[in-house]
Amino acid sequence: MSREIKFRAWEKETTEPFPWKGAEQDECILSIDNDGTIDAKSLDDVWGDHGEHSEWVDHDVEVEQFIGLQDKNGKGIYEGDIIRFTEEDTASFVGPVEYMADDDYPAFDIPDKYIPEGFYIESNVISNGVARGILEVIGNVHENPDLLEVKK
Q: For residue 5, which of 62, 78, 73 has the smallest C-alpha distance?
A: 78
Region(s) of the chain under CATH 2.30.30.290: 67-147
What's the half-sphere exposure (Cβ side, CA atoms, 13 Å) at 44? 11
pTM assigned to the model = 0.80
Read off the pLDDT of residues 10-65 as tens digits, 9 standing for 90 and up.
888 888 888 765 545 457 777 778 887 788 887 776 566 666 667 777 888 888 99
Q: For residue 142, which of 17, 24, 3, 31 has the smallest C-alpha distance?
A: 17
Which residue type occupies 152? K
Task: Supply the mean pLDDT for the chain.
Answer: 83
CATH 3.90.1480.20 fits 67-147, yes or no: no
Q: How far apart are CA 27 and CA 78, in angstroms?
A: 24
